[in-house]
């Protein structure tokens, strides 16, 4: 069982800095056009996807973890929401070019090879489409041991500064790159009540899970001052179709 399997079995719906409260606040600030076609990448148990659908957006949500998706589907059914859930890898999204108005991502891209992920995000966005991504960033000195520990436990593949992320977005063809939120210290998800959470309570008696919990606490305590987060906003150029077809 790895970290992501553990989150799936715990039914965690907002495993990212700031938690679900931060997600709602961000989405409320964005004021997306009504009926926007939104793709959530790394939807987990579907909490954000359901919030988007309740607010009138046409939502498609993808995740690689089958157990997460099964819980997301059941959540949407309980809330009587029409959401398309698909098991998919961010490196190869199963959608045509220029299909979505908005892509919404939280704590996903750091677990991927960034070039492939950003290329796919851009490919499936319409010209002028909006990209929002909340990710952990490096805010202090990075050592080889730190990188190795974070990769081994969490599966993080991409750990970079806010400046580097902005440069990478521009290199990948995004324009109007802005920072909507930022923090130079790590704040993990909150403890707000999730009425549709499906949790495997037997995990709390599992010795492996107890060891993983202790490891998680140690890593966050050790590196929290070197890790922060930022919310990036960017757009695809209006001539996106022409550029990609050259």
pLDDT for the residue numbered 12: 86
Let me know: does 61 contact 39? Beta carbons within 8 Å.
yes
Distance between CA 110 and CA 173 in Å, rounded? 19
Let me know: does 26 contact 180? Beta carbons within 8 Å.
yes
- Position 245 pLDDT exceeds 60: no
The percent helix, strand, coil of the chain (3-state, each to 5) is: 45, 20, 35
Distance between CA 3 and CA 212 in Å, rounded? 8
Distances (CA, A) of 209 to 23, 29, 70, 203, 215: 27, 37, 22, 6, 10
Distance between CA 128 and CA 234 in Å, rounded? 9
Give the count of domains, the chain.
Answer: 1
CA-based nearest residue to 110, from 66, 147, 46, 155:
155
CA-based nearest residue to 52, from 34, 78, 77:
34
pLDDT for the residue numbered 204: 83
pLDDT for the residue numbered 246: 40
Let me know: does 221 contact 214? Beta carbons within 8 Å.
no
Distance between CA 234 and CA 156 in Å, rounded? 23
Residue-range definition of the domain harbouring residue 41: 3-245
pLDDT, one tens digit per residue, over 117-171 is 999 999 999 999 999 999 999 998 889 999 999 999 999 999 999 999 999 999 9
Whole-number average pLDDT of the chain:
92
Q: Which residue has the higher pLDDT, 64 or 200?
A: 64
Q: Any idea what the CATH number is for the domain that residue 230 is in?
A: 3.40.50.150
């Amino acid at each position: 069982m790895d970290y992501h399997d553990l989150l799936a079995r715990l039914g965690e719906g907002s495993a990212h800095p700031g938690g679900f409260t931060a997600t709602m606040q961000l989405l409320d600030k964005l004021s997306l056009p009504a009926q926007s076609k939104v793709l959530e990448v790394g939807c987990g148990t579907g909490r954000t996807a359901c919030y988007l659908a309740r607010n009138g957006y046409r939502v498609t949500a993808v995740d690689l973890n089958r157990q997460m998706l099964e819980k997301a589907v059941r959540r949407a059914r309980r809330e009587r929401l029409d959401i398309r859930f698909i098991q998919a890898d961010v490196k190869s999204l199963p959608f045509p070019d220029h299909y979505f108005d908005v892509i919404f991502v939280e704590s996903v891209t750091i677990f991927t090879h960034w070039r492939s992920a950003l290329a796919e995000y851009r490919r499936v966005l319409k010209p002028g489409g909006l990209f929002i991504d909340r990710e952990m960033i490096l805010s202090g000195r990075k050592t080889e041991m730190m990188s190795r520990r974070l990769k081994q436990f969490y599966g993080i593949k991409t750990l970079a500064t806010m400046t580097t992320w902005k440069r990478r977005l521009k290199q990948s063809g995004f324009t109007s790159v802005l920072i909507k939120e930022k923090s130079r210290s790590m704040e993990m998800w909150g403890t707000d009540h999730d009425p549709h959470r499906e949790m495997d309570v037997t995990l709390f008696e599992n010795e492996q899970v107890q060891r993983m919990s202790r490891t998680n606490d140690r890593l966050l305590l050790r590196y929290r001052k070197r890790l922060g987060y930022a919310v990036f906003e960017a757009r695809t150029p209006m001539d996106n179709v022409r550029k990609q077809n050259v």
